[in-house]
């Protein structure tokens, strides 16, 4: 199973955002029965975070998957460094590539710019 770490990171941040929202609502409803207050707080959280979660899991802006490996030989400059390769976006798929090419950070940035000029959504 491949994990899209950008989505995962945003999802973890979103959980942190839900905590203060729920806390504020629970303080606001502190005179209510505790169970009623929790149900209302979760309902309000659900109304807000349904849309945030939907963006996190469906946005094409977050669809790029990268593979990162240490100590690779850059396919452009031959430097031994941490290597990056774009695996998949909404309109680019090298997930079945038998000879994947990794690039150092500097060359990867150049390659990314080039791909963007070709219309790849990265």
The site for Zn ion (CB under 5 A) is made up of: 74, 76-77, 79, 104, 107
Closest CB 91 distance from Zn ion, rounded Å: 25
Q: Which residue's CB is nearer to Zn ion, number 64 or number 81? A: 81
Q: How far apart are the first and last CA of the chain?
A: 21
The C-alpha angle 65, 70, 72, rounded to 5 degrees, equals: 95
Q: Which residue's CB is nearer to Zn ion, number 41 or number 107? A: 107
Closest CB 71 distance from Zn ion, rounded Å: 13
Closest CB 88 distance from Zn ion, rounded Å: 22
- Dihedral angle over CA of 47, 4, 12, 116, nearest 10: -80
Closest CB 97 distance from Zn ion, rounded Å: 18
Cα separation, 117 vs 110, in Å, equals 11
Residues ≥6 apart with Cβ < 8 Å to 56: 7, 10, 11, 14, 62
């Amino acid at each position: 199973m491949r994990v899209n770490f950008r989505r995962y990171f945003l999802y973890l941040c979103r959980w942190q955002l839900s905590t203060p929202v729920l806390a504020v609502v629970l303080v606001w409803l502190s005179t209510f029965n505790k169970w009623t207050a929790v149900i209302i707080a979760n309902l309000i959280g659900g109304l807000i975070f349904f849309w945030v979660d939907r963006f996190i899991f469906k946005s094409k802006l977050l669809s790029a998957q990268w593979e990162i490996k240490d100590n690779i030989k850059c396919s452009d400059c031959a430097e031994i460094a941490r290597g990056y390769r774009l695996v998949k976006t909404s309109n680019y798929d090298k997930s079945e590539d038998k000879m994947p090419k990794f690039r150092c950070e500097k060359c990867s940035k150049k390659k990314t710019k080039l791909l963007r000029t070709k219309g790849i959504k990265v």
